[in-house]
Structure 1
Amino acid sequence: MAYQALYRVYRPQSFQDVVGQRHIIKTLQNALVLEKFSHAYLFSGPRGTGKTTAAKILAKAVNCEHAPVSEPCNECATCRGITDGSISDVIEIDAASNNGVDEIRDIRDKVKYAPSAVRYKVYIIDEVHMLSIGAFNALLKTLEEPPPHVIFILATTEPHKIPLTIISRCQRFDFKRISPDDIVYRMKEVLISEDVNVADEALYEVAKASEGGMRDALSLLDQAISYSENEVTLDDVLSITGAVSHTFMLQIVRSIAEKNLVSALHAVEQLIQNGKDPVRFLEDLIFYYRDVLLYQSSSEMEHLMEKAVVSEEFKELASQLPAEGIYSIINQLNQTQQEMKWTNHPRVLLEVALVKLAQSSSKKKTVASEEDDLLQKVKMLEAQVNHLKENGVQVQQSQQETSDQKVKRQVRSQYKVPIGKVHEVLKQASRQELEEVKRLWAEVLETLRQQNKASHAALLSNSEPVASSSKSFILKFKYEIHCKMAAENNNNVRDNLENILYTLSGSKREMVAIPDNEWDKVRGDFLQEQQGNNGSQKEEEDPLISEAKKLFGEELIEIHE
């Protein structure tokens, strides 16, 4: 007899052999014993999780000569006939190639005839979502009220494509992805019968690559056995799946963290020479960084890790990588992965991505250290000024610069105020919009702290909303360096601020930053400009006063002739 693939030879013939679907198997077994099974079932879930297999076992169990039973005996003539396909009363239909109205009408015409060899006629329709709308309509009434000797079992990987009128007439069971541990357990049972040696780490790599599908896992295992010589090793499986080892991933991540471009690019060269797929490697790299985040959150999440292996080197690396940096790296890698789908040169995009990551890591460290130094100096000078004031020492005005002025000059960053944008906001600004932003401001800062954005909250703590329209708002900063950092969106501070404000208020507003020492001048120039534009118009009230009331409210305005 010709060789058969492992997934065909070891296809489960009883419910106890179906792995990873305990919640479904128990329900079906109870229904079989009590003879309360339904006339129509819908089995949905990812590929290779046991939908069609469970349907055939169910067909054998309801027709077994020893029924009612929770398991088919697989020994009687009925069970053997259904297993080898010789009993015509159990009909398997592939809806992908029989999706027309005529095929369903043929079922509808034949369904009324009693079974010839067993108690129940069972129709197993695989990939049922491929049926046309006309075919679904033709099946509708028959599915709702079939003859008492007929059972329908529908199987699909895409239940959202099935009309709700069909789903509502079936008992639905959702098959889930099988866990790696369950897949490894089943593969070990198969290997005992096959008398093949496979390393445990190789089995777990196969289980991870199968993405929760038992059929995929057995296919990969079959391929790895053919590829290897005496024993299937981890390297054999990695060669088959196109993945890379944990050591290789650790080397890449460390090279990025240490800004070692030569080592990172050399690793890419080695990757290509070994015939690995850059797209698959990039996906593995994203999952590796995800595993680092999980481990940093809690060492108890080790069982959820996909690509990384916890070792002393991994622990050391995880302690050195900041969480904020990992978030940014994952976003950049994900963007590169999307771009790879539309290019003929994925290797180039991979190399560019690694270079960018290493360089951006270097720049972020430099900028962060400079900012920390400046902020530290500001705090020291403020502390000295407060100490002098508390001890009654007056600062000499003849020096023509106070401690605050020294601080401002030290951190001065030559920030150019966007006067045009400020004027546009002031033209549309209203007191009501400003009050809403001020009301939410404390909650915005608290939300940043809850999202582990304490650095952003600290940067914005010395700022204040001073004007707002429905589309933009002006944020006044005490220190010009903070204003520049927010305006240039360092570490995505502006994006985070605008997104949080949008979530809280339901209105998307763009932030316009302005230093404290420039605000009064820009506002005064705007008011004078408005007064000049409206000077020729005769109005009962001075335009300057009207604009001031509009911006700041009548209760804060006092008019002196």
Structure 2
Amino acid sequence: MEPFIVSARKYRPETFEDVVGQGAITQTLENAIKSNHLAQALLFTGPRGVGKTTCARILAKKINHESGDYDPNEDFAFNIFELDAASNNGVDQIRSIVDQVRIPPQVGKYKIYIIDEVHMLSNAAFNAFLKTLEEPPAHAIFILATTEKHKIIPTILSRCQIFDFKRITVSAMREHLKLISIKEGITAEEDALQIIAQKADGALRDSLSIFDRVVSFSGKELTVKAVTENLNVLDRETYFKITDLLLENNIPQLLVDYDVIMAKGFDGQHFVSGLASHFRDLMVGKDERTIQLLEVGEQTKAKYMEQARRVDLPFLRKAIEIANQADFNYRSSRNQRLLVELTLMQLASINSDGEKKNDVKYIIPATQFEHATATLPKTEDYNTVVVEKKEEIDSTLHISKMESITSLNEDIPSYKAPNTSEKAVDKPVSVERETNHEKDLTNDHPTETNTSLEEKRKALLNKSKKNVSGLSLQGIEAKKSLLAKQQGRIIEKDKLPEDPFTQTQLNQVWSNYVVHLQDRGQQILASILNADQPKLQGTVIHLRFPNRSMKEDLEKSQGQILEYIQRELNNYLIRFKIDVDTTVTKKYVYTDQDKFSKLVEKNPAVDVLRRTFDLDF
């Protein structure tokens, strides 16, 4: 089995012609080599995955090839030195390069030093590099690459010829992915490659990594459905459908469809921002002169133009305003789902004929949808989520139901049908059948039967009161007990330690915890614990504080305090009882500055002494 090579390495450009989306830079470098106008210090800067290191390697090979001493049989790889500044950012590594620069190349005309992620160098390394970078030997060329030019000191920038690499456009990335698909024998839909290119956000290396991941998922057939499912992105068809529902003012169906989107695990803000972008694309698609601004395939452009004909500009302006406001308020909203649902209702009410239709916050009254129906889309993912939840609830309630039926059958006597044969057996019957049988017997013994029937009804009522929900903690414990009973096991409940302790031991543990809080910098909580000495009564610790705020602050942290005290005293019955008593004098934890101020108030000569001898307080 041959080792797999990722596409980012397999299809790394070998010549400047193969570099995608950086035509201006590659043409400049080629002309500089031909005309012998190449600077001795170059800085390649730009976002990740746009070809900085690749262009540096191509340039390093091409420099010696274009020189007059070029021999096709010679290998110039020994003249190229690469340094990763992220892991070699010290001054010693730079000094080592400075020492090597003095030695001329054994083969070819130039020695090329490529320093990647150069912004990671320390200030000392930058300073050690300055003189060599300003006046390098004639046979040395430095190529620096970075994603963060602003972190490089100005004295380095002034010594370099800077090339700014731009983000690769979605269309150029899509065409490059199409060529790779053909080489790999993969049938790929254009819209699927479009989604990958958009997801990469201008980085070609990211797009190739996403491409490999999706191909591993879908095989040789790369479809829009496979890409959206693997990348967990909302496809454009969803937004087209949502827009159609908005134009139809169909609020019930909108809410149902948004519930399906949430069930698939999509973020509400991602949905709202995507909807705003869709409205923008529709606005662009209304004019043939601006349709070229859409970075989509031809089929998708046709869909945008078709839907844009049915949407007027006032609707799009209001829709973009409402969607952008929802996107802005999403993070600060306490009920984010409600915010998105209100946004959808407001969007669906823009074209309504209500009295307040000019108000962007107007929502169509619910009375207009009394006879409306909303169909639930039968998507595989949504049904899977619903079925899984239903099975989980059913499995949890099954044991509880069986327990109730067992208890019920124990209280109801077996019914033996009249005129049964010898092979007949007693079978438990339902409450309804038993009641009917009792009614048949009331003719012979009315008083006795009515009394027994009333007693059984009371017994059943008491049983029903003892039933608990299968989803509660008591229900889970009952389920475990029933299973253990059926299997003949005995459940042993853990018994926590309850060692006795004295007031002195409690005071010691209390003081240790206060010191622990002070060491961790929690001075406020430490001062609250110092405000009163704990008083022990049995296993209850009584505390009194002068105000309610101190009590509330302690109650917020009493969990961690109790855990510490219970563990140290080995007694898990300990509890707090906190009261507010205004007669209690509050204790303060004084800092060194406070202590010094108190001394100066009592004796001003202390401050004179400090200033005379320039002492610290």
Q: Where on the TM-score scale, by shorter chain, does this alignment land: which range?
A: 0.5 to 0.7
Counterpart of 1:148 in structure 2 is 138
Q: 1:359 to 1:123 in 2, by over 3 A?
A: same
Counterpart of 1:305 in structure 2 is 294
Q: How does 1:71-220 map onto structure 2 within 5 Å?
A: 76-78=73-75, 82=77, 87=78, 89-220=79-210
Q: 1:361 to 1:272 in 2, by over 3 A?
A: closer
Q: Does the CA-based 8 Å contact 1:128-1:156 persist in structure 2? A: yes
Q: Deviations over 1:448-506 (max 9, x none)?
A: xxxxxxxxxxxxxxxxxxxxxxxxxxxxxxxxxxxxxxxxxxxxxxxxxxxxxxxxxxx
Counterpart of 1:359 in structure 2 is 346
Q: Deviations over 1:322-365 (max 9, x none)?
A: 2431342243133145548xx9xxxx624522323423763896
Counterpart of 2:311 in structure 1 is 318
1:251 Cα deviation after fit: 2.1
Q: Deviations over 1:494-548 (max 9, x none)?
A: xxxxxxxxxxxxxxxxxxxxxxxxxxxxxxxxxxxxxxxxxxxxxxxxxxxxxxx
Q: 1:337 to 1:118 in 2, by over 3 A?
A: farther
Q: Deviations over 1:51-98 (max 9, x none)?
A: 11000000000122x5369xx99x64425xx3xxxx2x3122222222
Q: 1:363 to 1:302 in 2, by over 3 A?
A: closer
Q: How does 1:35-50 map onto structure 2 within 5 Å?
A: 35-50=36-51
Q: Does the CA-based 8 Å contact 1:143-1:169 persist in structure 2? A: yes
Q: Partners of 1:338 and 1:135 in 2: how far apart?
A: 43
1:300 Cα deviation after fit: 2.2
1:242 Cα deviation after fit: 2.1
1:150 Cα deviation after fit: 1.2
Q: Partners of 1:76 and 1:350 in 2: how far apart?
A: 67
Q: Which amino acid aligns with 2:342?
A: V
Q: Does the CA-based 8 Å contact 2:173-2:204 persist in structure 1? A: yes
Q: Which amino acid aligns with 2:102?
A: K
Q: Which amino acid aligns with 1:301?
A: T
Q: Partners of 1:109 and 1:6 in 2: how far apart?
A: 37
Q: Deviations over 1:191-227 (max 9, x none)?
A: 2321221122212222222222221121111112111
Q: How well do the aligned residues superpose, as a CA RMSD in angstroms?
A: 2.9
* Percent identity of equivalent pairs: 37
1:177 Cα deviation after fit: 1.5
- Give yes or no for the alignment of 1:15 onto 2:27: no
Q: 1:192 to 1:258 in 2, by over 3 A?
A: closer
Q: Partners of 1:50 and 1:362 in 2: how far apart?
A: 48
1:154 Cα deviation after fit: 1.1
Q: Which amino acid aligns with 2:336?
A: L
Counterpart of 2:64 in structure 1 is 63
Q: Partners of 1:41 and 1:367 in 2: how far apart?
A: 66
Q: Which amino acid aligns with 2:148?
A: E
Q: Does the CA-based 8 Å contact 2:20-2:168 persist in structure 1? A: yes
For normalisation by structure 2, the TM-score amounts to 0.52
Q: Secondary structure in 1 aligned to 2:95?
A: helix
Q: Does the CA-based 8 Å contact 2:168-2:202 persist in structure 1? A: yes
Q: How does 1:278-297 map onto structure 2 within 5 Å?
A: 278-296=268-286
- Give yes or no for the alignment of 1:329 onto 2:332: no
Q: Select between 354-363 and 150-159 the one with higher mean Cα deviation.
A: 354-363
The structure with more radius of gyration: 2
Q: Partners of 2:160 and 2:177 in 1: how far apart?
A: 33
Counterpart of 2:474 in structure 1 is none
1:147 Cα deviation after fit: 1.3
Q: Secondary structure in 2 aligned to 1:155?
A: strand
Q: Deviations over 1:14-38 (max 9, x none)?
A: 1110011111111111111122211
Q: Partners of 1:100 and 1:33 in 2: how far apart?
A: 36
Q: Which amino acid aligns with 1:10?
A: Y
Q: Select between 2-11 and 226-235 the one with higher mean Cα deviation.
A: 226-235
Q: Which amino acid aligns with 2:10?
A: V
1:262 Cα deviation after fit: 2.9
Counterpart of 2:212 in structure 1 is 222
Q: Does the CA-based 8 Å contact 2:315-2:350 persist in structure 1? A: no
Q: 1:323 to 1:192 in 2, by over 3 A?
A: closer
Q: Does the CA-based 8 Å contact 2:196-2:227 persist in structure 1? A: yes
Q: How does 1:490-501 map onto structure 2 within 5 Å?
A: none
Counterpart of 1:272 in structure 2 is 262
Q: 1:260 to 1:134 in 2, by over 3 A?
A: farther
Q: Partners of 2:276 and 2:63 in 1: how far apart?
A: 47
Q: Which amino acid aligns with 1:359?
A: Q
Q: Secondary structure in 1 aligned to 2:311?
A: helix
Q: Secondary structure in 1 aligned to 2:289?
A: helix
Q: Deviations over 1:234-270 (max 9, x none)?
A: 1111123222221101222344455544323322332
Q: Does the CA-based 8 Å contact 2:276-2:319 persist in structure 1? A: no
Counterpart of 2:416 in structure 1 is none
Q: 1:281 to 1:327 in 2, by over 3 A?
A: closer
Q: 1:25 to 1:233 in 2, by over 3 A?
A: same
Q: How does 1:331-410 map onto structure 2 within 5 Å?
A: 331-336=324-329, 338-339=331-332, 349-359=336-346, 362=349, 366=354
1:131 Cα deviation after fit: 2.2
Q: Which amino acid aligns with 2:328?
A: Q
For normalisation by structure 1, the TM-score amounts to 0.57
Q: Which of 235, 248, 255 is the aligned partner of 1:245? A: 235
Is the helix fraction higher in 1 or 2?
1
Counterpart of 1:29 in structure 2 is 30
1:7 Cα deviation after fit: 1.1
Q: Partners of 1:338 and 1:370 in 2: how far apart?
A: 27
Q: Deviations over 1:293-330 (max 9, x none)?
A: 3234x332223225774426522453265243134224
Q: Which amino acid aligns with 1:281?
A: F
Q: Partners of 1:257 and 1:332 in 2: how far apart?
A: 20
Q: Partners of 1:323 and 1:55 in 2: how far apart?
A: 46
Q: Does the CA-based 8 Å contact 1:45-1:174 persist in structure 2? A: yes
Q: Does the CA-based 8 Å contact 1:126-1:154 persist in structure 2? A: yes
Q: Which amino acid aligns with 2:130?
A: L
Q: Partners of 1:220 and 1:59 in 2: how far apart?
A: 29
Q: Secondary structure in 2 aligned to 1:300?
A: coil
Q: Does the CA-based 8 Å contact 2:272-2:323 persist in structure 1? A: no
1:368 Cα deviation after fit: 5.2
Q: 1:135 to 1:201 in 2, by over 3 A?
A: same
Q: 1:225 to 1:113 in 2, by over 3 A?
A: same
Q: Secondary structure in 2 aligned to 1:243?
A: coil
Q: Secondary structure in 1 aligned to 2:12?
A: coil
Which runs of no fewer than 5 residues in structure 2 stay unpaired?
360-617
Which runs of no fewer than 5 residues in structure 1 stay unpaired?
372-561
Q: Partners of 1:200 and 1:364 in 2: how far apart?
A: 35
